[in-house]
Amino acid sequence: MTQRPGKLKQGCAVGLLCSGLLFGALQLAAPWVQAAQVLEKSKAPTQALKETNNYTVTSVPVEQLHLDTPSLPDLSGYTAAAVEAKIQRTPGGKVVVRRMLQQDALKDFVGGNERLREWVQRQHGMPHAIFIEGGYVTPKDLARSLPDSQFSEVEPGVYLARLPIVVAQGATLHVGKDTKELRLSQERGSFMVNDGQLFFTDTKLTAWREADNGPASFRKADEFRPFLVSWGGSELYISGSVFTSLGYSNSKSYGVSITQYTPSMQARLKRPEPTGWLINSEFVDHWYGFYCYEAENVVLKGNTYRDNIVYGIDPHDRSHGLIIAENTVHGTKKKHGIIISREVDDSWIFHNKSYDNKLSGIVLDRNSVRNLVAYNEVYQNHSDGITIYESSNNLLWGNRVLNNARHGIRLRNSTNIRLYENISAANGLTGIYGHIKDLSDTDRNIALDPFDTEVSMIVVGGKLAANGSSPLSIDSPLSVELYRVEMLAPSKSTGISFSGILGERQDEILDLMVRRELAVLIDPVESQTELQD
């Protein structure tokens, strides 16, 4: 059973800290530098020891642990006006209806595994889709061009699509403020595919269950629900809009996705990496609130991801240069609030709030490296606050990680993790926990997702307070460096208590770091066998 922290003693030094942490601002003012520049190579040994648990505790020069405050991307250009400025309203486009077969943009949905059957059943015959080609089109143009059985204005400014909609390469669909709501019929198998440019500004997109005359709210994982996918070479812009009840458990059909074509298709089409901005919008009851794959420079800014099913925000394979900033993610029902996974590199996750999610608030996973996670508020999640799995060379700076059910910050099989000026308080287990785990006997694809059973960290500044089991624990590290870390209000009556390797050398560590105010290095003693080698 998860251990919960006890109440703080009245008058305790950390009482004021914990009561004000959640909404208090941690202000740091120093010249900004790029995060990648401060992620230096770890000086720790490159190979874990085989047979010894013997470690030395020594002081190290403080200067070698100094980092300038990391640089954050300028967000001032990601505005509704900037999105509007990108829309090219001439020339006008055309609207045609074509069979879904033999269309590159639809092959992922009508190929093998009898996927065509879904649309045959829903359309009661050979399936067709609406194609926007050659220029600029709005929902009003679609309603004017198509019969009500395919696309109709059901009330002023409210449109219902009863076929899939494809924005072709070189075309633009703009769903703007003149459209109160665009509804995609679940019963008729409607969904949206962007192969060109797609804009939503000050509007609503809703997966619509005609039988209920309302949103196609989630019922089960494999039940078709309308979705939006933006393919390689495309651009997707969403501003000031509300998206509701999209996506289900089927490839590229997760909700709102920005994704490169499948490898076989991309080998033939050779499309650039897709991109887009999703700003100041709300995403509710999606299978995944957001998903991307091999995307570049995507911006998620100022959005709310609420009550989504599996993940709130989920950038995936080989996406890079992402900005995930100023979002609020909460109520994710199955897994994590924000997760980047499988070589999602060189990205920024900052000034987000992630809370009340089923598992962790923020996760870096499967060899995602050179990322900056800064100034986030991560609290009241039902597992860890911030979790790093098999993802080395990342920097966590100035985060507030509070009252999560398990560990505040957890590292597994990850080296050169730098934890600067973070606050981890009132979490159920450990404030910061590092460990190794052999994943060979799991269902993990080792060739696709390799890992080393090694862990190392540098912890500088910040506070570890009132965590349930210990402030800091690490098992079998390559190295640990500690400096200027405040440890307050232990939940145990015996006071501050480390566990793991640190517990064995606790007196020496506290003497150097607390009494003498020095930087501490804990690293392993080489075994005699290794010395002979």
Give SS3 for 509.
helix
- Tokens encoding 178: 């003149």
Residue tagged active-site, from 174, 286, 316, 330: 316
Peptide bond connecting 91 to the previous residue in cis, omega within 30 degrees of 0: yes
CA–CA gap between residue 417 and residue 40 (Å, rounded): 10
3-state DSSP of 402-435: ECCCCCCEEEECCCCEEEECCEEECCCCEEEEEE
Give SS3 for 67.
coil
Helices (H), 340-424: none
Q: Shortest CA distance to 475 belongs to which of 416, 422, 412, 428?
A: 412
Position 25: which residue type?
Answer: A
Cβ pair 164, 131 in contact under 8 A: no
- Tokens encoding 155: 């009330």
Measured in whole angstroms, the distance separating CA 405 from the mean position of its chain's CA atoms is 20
Give SS3 for 152.
strand
Give SS3 for 153.
strand
Position 481: which residue type?
Answer: E
Strands 197-201 vs 172-175: parallel, antiparallel or unpaired: parallel
3-state DSSP of 183-194: EEECCCCCCEEE
Catalytic, 174? Answer no
Q: Is the dihedral of CA 52, 57, 63, 69 positive or negative?
A: positive
Rg (alpha carbons) of the chain, rounded to whole number: 26
* CB neighbourhood size of 171 (10 A): 22
CA–CA gap between residue 451 and residue 371 (Å, rounded): 18
* CB neighbourhood size of 242 (10 A): 17
CA–CA gap between residue 394 and residue 390 (Å, rounded): 11
Provide the annotated active-site residues: 316
